[in-house]
């Protein structure tokens, strides 16, 4: 049964990132005197490509809004993006969703690459995009005409960053992968399931992919060279295995922020007191995000599967709420831990206010 639930959810979510069952909390009650629906929330990283009948009520129950994040990706199956789906979904539920556009490095050698990319972004910002995503194809997948992997600090991308600065639009940067991608697969790792399902991103098996250090260092160089560009490091800035490493970058780069999507398992694998101290110190720089989403239309799903998808989404939001707000023992992606018991003032910022300020939602 457990396997069936896992498979049902995995096939119903966006497969390029990695939302899935986070696992179960041993206690479902919320230890602090606040109902989960009282606190306003923004999930800054979701991929609800298609609408669901249950979603408006579920988001209302959680007092949640979401940022629909497009992924413009190049993988072994070709170039794909989902902007039109997200635009339609956001236009149908404008109070529920905001939009994040995306760019890709394919064609970077063409003389009008930057101009065309800026035209695309300009149009999508006019349609409501409040942020632009760069994905791990920068650094790990896409090569230029000379056969070199395009790193995110490539000077040919600079006109795009200058344009985004002029528009005051931030970048959501999923650059590199968790460090474990460059290591032999460990069944105890919170990322075991993802790399089993997406072996093409398990860099350990592809020595030609640049090292973790090379990609992170290009990312850092890009952030440093663009102090007026706000950069939100997706997935804890691909440094989720160690909050000290994240803290070091946040200290160094005032224009850098991070969000938690699909990395609660990594946080849970670290000492709760240390994670709490990190979130306390950087309470203005960390955003709640999950990577939850779907990849097939509701019309293609059986009723029972739809119900299960809804139940899992609700269960997962509750588990993360219990981790952040509570102090009970719980398990996230196989990592046993206890809740962080963050005070209400910090929860308000991480769940909501930081994203409102960053995306100028009000």
* 294, 51 contact by CB (below 8 A): no
| Residues at the contact surface with Zn ion, assessed by CB under 5 A | 17, 291
Of the pair 42, 342, the CB lying nearest Zn ion is at 42
Of the pair 22, 291, the CB lying nearest Zn ion is at 291
Q: Is residue 29 exposed (0-12), middle (13-18) or buried (19+ Cβ within 10 Å)?
A: exposed
Q: Report how far residue 294's alpha carbon sits from residue 113's, in angstroms, rounded to the nearest whole number.
A: 31
Q: Which residue is nearest to Zn ion (CB)?
A: 17
- If DSSP codes are grouped into helix, strand and coil, which group holds residue 42? strand
**Least Cβ distance, residue 324 to Zn ion (angstroms):** 20
Q: Report how far residue 241's alpha carbon sits from residue 44's, in angstroms, rounded to the nearest whole number.
A: 21
**Least Cβ distance, residue 166 to Zn ion (angstroms):** 26
* 286, 277 contact by CB (below 8 A): no
Longest dimension (CA), the chain: 59
Of the pair 138, 163, the CB lying nearest Zn ion is at 138
Q: Report how far residue 238's alpha carbon sits from residue 308's, in angstroms, rounded to the nearest whole number.
A: 30
Of the pair 194, 358, the CB lying nearest Zn ion is at 194
**Least Cβ distance, residue 240 to Zn ion (angstroms):** 14
**Least Cβ distance, residue 344 to Zn ion (angstroms):** 28
Q: Report how far residue 360's alpha carbon sits from residue 237's, in angstroms, rounded to the nearest whole number.
A: 22
Of the pair 75, 328, the CB lying nearest Zn ion is at 75
Of the pair 291, 309, the CB lying nearest Zn ion is at 291
Listed as own residue / partner, the contacts of 325-328 with beta carbons closer than 8 Å and 24 or more positions apart are 325/30, 325/31, 325/32, 325/34, 325/36, 326/27, 326/29, 326/30, 326/31, 326/32, 327/31, 328/25, 328/26, 328/27, 328/29, 328/31
Q: Report how far residue 104's alpha carbon sits from residue 27's, in angstroms, rounded to the nearest whole number.
A: 43
Of the pair 130, 276, the CB lying nearest Zn ion is at 130
Order of strands, sheet of 256-259, starting from the edge strand that comes earlier in the sequence: 286-287, 256-259, 231-233, 171-173, 129-134, 97-102, 64-69, 41-48, 293-294
**Least Cβ distance, residue 69 to Zn ion (angstroms):** 6
**Least Cβ distance, residue 18 to Zn ion (angstroms):** 8
Of the pair 17, 175, the CB lying nearest Zn ion is at 17
**Least Cβ distance, residue 143 to Zn ion (angstroms):** 23
**Least Cβ distance, residue 45 to Zn ion (angstroms):** 6
| Residue found by looking up tokens 């230890």 in the block | 31
């Amino acid at each position: 049964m457990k396997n069936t639930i896992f498979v049902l959810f995995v096939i119903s979510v966006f497969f390029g990132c990695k939302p899935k069952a986070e696992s179960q909390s041993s206690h479902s009650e919320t230890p602090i005197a606040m109902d989960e629906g009282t606190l306003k929330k923004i999930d800054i990283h979701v991929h609800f490509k298609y609408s669901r009948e249950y979603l408006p009520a579920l988001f209302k129950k959680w007092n949640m809004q979401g940022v629909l994040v497009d992924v413009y990706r190049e993988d072994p199956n070709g170039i794909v993006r989902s902007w039109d789906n997200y635009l339609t979904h956001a236009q149908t539920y404008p109070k529920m969703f905001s939009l994040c556009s995306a760019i890709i490095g394919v064609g970077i050698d063409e003389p009008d690459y930057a101009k065309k990319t800026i035209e695309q972004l300009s149009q999508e910002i006019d349609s409501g995009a409040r942020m632009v995503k760069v994905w791990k194809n920068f650094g790990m997948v896409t090569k230029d005409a000379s056969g070199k992997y395009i790193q995110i600090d490539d000077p040919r991308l600079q006109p795009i960053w200058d344009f985004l600065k002029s528009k005051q639009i931030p970048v959501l940067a999923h650059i590199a992968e968790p460090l474990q991608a460059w290591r032999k697969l460990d069944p105890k790792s919170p990322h075991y399931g993802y790399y089993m399902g997406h072996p093409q991103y398990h860099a350990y098996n592809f020595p030609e992919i640049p090292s973790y250090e090379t990609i992170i260092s290009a990312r850092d160089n890009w952030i440093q060279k663009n102090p007026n560009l706000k950069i939100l490091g997706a997935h804890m800035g691909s440094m989720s295995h160690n909050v000290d490493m994240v803290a070091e970058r946040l200290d160094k780069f005032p224009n850098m922020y991070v969000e938690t999507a699909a990395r609660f398992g990594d946080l849970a694998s670290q000492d709760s007191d240390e994670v709490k101290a990190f979130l306390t110190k950087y309470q203005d720089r960390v955003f709640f995000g999950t990577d939850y989403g779907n990849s097939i239309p509701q019309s293609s799903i059986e009723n029972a599967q739809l119900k299960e998808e809804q139940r899992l989404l609700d269960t997962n939001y509750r588990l993360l709420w219990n981790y952040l707000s509570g102090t009970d023992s719980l398990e996230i992606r196989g990592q046993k831990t206890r809740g962080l018991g963050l005070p209400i003032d910090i929860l308000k910022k991480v769940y909501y206010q930081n994203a409102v300020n960053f995306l100028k939602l009000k």
